[in-house]
């Protein structure tokens, strides 16, 4: 019988979640590598401007969160100017996953009946059926980091050749995923990843070992792509599309991760004087990689984390988020599900990337991510392609959040506590 203790072998522990996570590391480059632009009405932040994304590497029960305060909709900045009809359509998408649950059943039935409502009618729907609660961090502060992610496009092939020689792997058969809650209930949602070495569980292969293919030869290759840095950023985003040399286009999504914590390659370049903080965006890192091809393996192996993929149905309107529904450009965010229930509407007040122009919008908590940790922490989904990638790569703003819950449902009840 295999026995694993709570602190077994110092294996990395990641929050368990769904399709684009737990290691959809979207925005972790931006978290460490771009200046913060404050949101409207900026308040003192508890996070240093150049702090890397928080990433759990030891097992620890979450700290008790403060009670959330209910506020009136009239107090939400920009609420009256929102396109509530568009937000209602996004909420109906949430209902495809949460519509059968106790707290959401009736409100989802009502939403589906008026999903084509006018903006005033949709606004009345939210104000009549929901209560708004200010999201807070564990220390009671109400401001946090808002980053962005997107769905990239890569070039690939189903067979390797001189151009397409970088493998995009499926989940290896020897990757173990151990649910720690079976040993320690207080660690609900935490998983441990590794592999067997005889009767011992040891850490899984690192990125460097996988890329060198030293002991790692049994995993199935889904596709072959032509650019290793694009492949790396695909893993950071957690999903994407691949244009094949046959003319076909396929969508792939997160399937699992090797269990090693994410380490920012942007921070690595900054610390070595290769890039300044302002230069170390996704675009800046790609430019450095093109100028220094001989050092690319050194750079990428700094981040031992490695993501494995699966091919998704071709008829999906977007990549699948942790909730199990397609994420929607400009309406979906990734949140920390310890604080914000997946599927819930979340009103977001932040700014556009690298600007002080207000971005205030009713979003849906459709996703999670390994870097998304805290009550006021979100990853904004910008959509597909280069333009979305440019916005996501620059976004590192401060912001505030309010979660909308059905009338009579407390935040603790919505989180199953």
pLDDT score, position 25: 55
What is the rounded distance in angstroms from the CA atom of residue 337 to the CA atom of residue 75? 25
> Does residue 33 carry a pLDDT above 70?
no
pLDDT score, position 66: 62
| 93-55-267 Cα angle (round to 5) | 110
What is the rounded distance in angstroms from the CA atom of residue 27 to the CA atom of residue 31? 6
Question: Which residues does residue 153 pair with via DSSP β-bridges, in sequence order?
Answer: 241
Cβ pair 336, 366 in contact under 8 A? no
Q: How far is CA 125 from CA 75, 79, 104, in A?
A: 17, 14, 14
pLDDT score, position 65: 58
pLDDT digits (tens, 9 = 90+) for 220-242: 899 999 999 999 999 999 899 99
Q: How far is CA 114 from CA 107, 122, 173, 364, in A?
A: 11, 8, 46, 18
Of 26-35, 85-94, 204-213, 326-335, the one with minimum mean pLDDT is 26-35
Residues 103-123: what's their mean pLDDT?
A: 90
pLDDT score, position 182: 76
pLDDT score, position 308: 95
Residues 299-316: what's their mean pLDDT?
A: 92
> Does residue 296 carry a pLDDT above 80?
yes
Structural domains of the chain sorted by starting position, each given as residue range(s) with its CATH number in brackets: 9-414 (2.40.240.50)
For 157-168, b/e burial (b = at least 16 CB within 10 A) is beeeeeebebbb
For 74-92, b/e burial (b = at least 16 CB within 10 A) is eebeebeebebbbbbbbbb
Three-class SS of 49-109: CCCCCCCCCCCCCCCCCCCCCEECHHHCCCHHHCCHHHHHHHHHHHHHHHCCCCCCHHHHH
Residues 6-34: what's their mean pLDDT?
A: 38
pLDDT score, position 293: 95
CA atoms within 13 A on the CB side of 371: 30
Tokens 């990638």 correspond to 389
Cβ pair 334, 322 in contact under 8 A? yes
Nearest 5°: phi and psi at 223?
-150, 165
pLDDT score, position 53: 35
- Rg of the chain over Cα atoms, rounded to whole angstroms, equals 21
pLDDT digits (tens, 9 = 90+) for 47-65: 223 333 333 333 344 455 5
3-state SS, residue 365: strand
What are the DSSP calls for 183-240, one per residue?
T-GGGTTEEEEEEEETTEEEPPPPHHHHHHTSS---SPEEEEES-HHHHHHHHHHSEE
| 316-319-321 Cα angle (round to 5) | 120
> Does residue 214 carry a pLDDT above 70?
no
Mean pLDDT, all residues of the chain: 84
Q: Which of 314, 351, 376, 373 is nearest to 77 (CA)?
A: 351
């Amino acid at each position: 019988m295999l026995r694993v203790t709570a602190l077994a072998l110092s294996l990395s522990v990641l929050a368990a979640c769904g399709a684009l996570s737990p290691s959809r590391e979207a925005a972790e480059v931006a978290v460490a590598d771009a200046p913060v632009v404050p949101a409207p009405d900026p308040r003192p932040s508890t996070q240093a401007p150049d702090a890397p994304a928080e990433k759990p590497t030891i097992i620890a029960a979450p700290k008790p969160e403060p009670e959330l305060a209910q506020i009136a909709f009239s107090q939400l900045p920009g609420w009256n100017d929102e396109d509530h009809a568009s937000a209602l359509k996004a909420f109906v998408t949430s209902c495809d996953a949460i519509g059968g649950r106790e707290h959401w059943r009736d409100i989802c039935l009502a939403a589906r009946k008026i999903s084509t409502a006018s903006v005033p009618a949709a606004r009345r729907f939210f104000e009549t059926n929901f209560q708004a609660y200010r999201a807070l961090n564990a220390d009671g502060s109400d401001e946090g980091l808002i980053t962005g992610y997107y769905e990239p496009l890569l070039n690939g092939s189903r067979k390797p050749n001189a151009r397409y020689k970088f493998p995009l792997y499926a989940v290896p058969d020897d990757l173990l995923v151990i649910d720690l809650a079976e040993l320690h209930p207080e660690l609900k949602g935490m998983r441990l990843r590794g592999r067997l070495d005889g009767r011992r569980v040891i850490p899984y292969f690192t990125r460097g070992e996988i890329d060198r293919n030293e002991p790692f030869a049994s995993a199935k290759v889904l596709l072959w792509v032509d650019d290793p840095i694009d492949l790396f950023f695909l893993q950071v985003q957690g999903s994407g599309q691949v244009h094949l040399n046959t003319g076909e286009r396929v969508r792939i999504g997160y399937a699992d991760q090797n269990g090693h914590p994410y380490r920012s390659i942007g921070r690595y370049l900054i610390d070595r004087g290769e890039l300044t903080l302002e230069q170390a965006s996704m675009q800046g890192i790609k430019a450095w990689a093109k100028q220094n091809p001989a050092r690319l393996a050194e750079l990428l192996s700094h981040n031992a984390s490695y993501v494995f993929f699966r091919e998704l149905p071709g008829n999906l309107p977007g990549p699948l988020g942790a909730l199990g529904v397609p994420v929607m450009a400009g309406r979906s965010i990734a949140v920390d599900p310890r604080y914000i229930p997946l599927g819930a509407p979340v009103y977001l007040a932040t700014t556009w990337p690298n600007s002080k122009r207000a971005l205030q919008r009713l979003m849906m908590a459709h996703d999670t991510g390994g870097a998304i940790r805290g009550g006021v922490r979100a990853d904004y989904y910008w959509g597909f392609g280069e333009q979305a990638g440019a916005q996501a790569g620059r976004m590192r703003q401060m912001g505030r959040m309010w979660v909308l819950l059905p009338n009579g449902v407390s935040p603790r009840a919505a989180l199953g506590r």
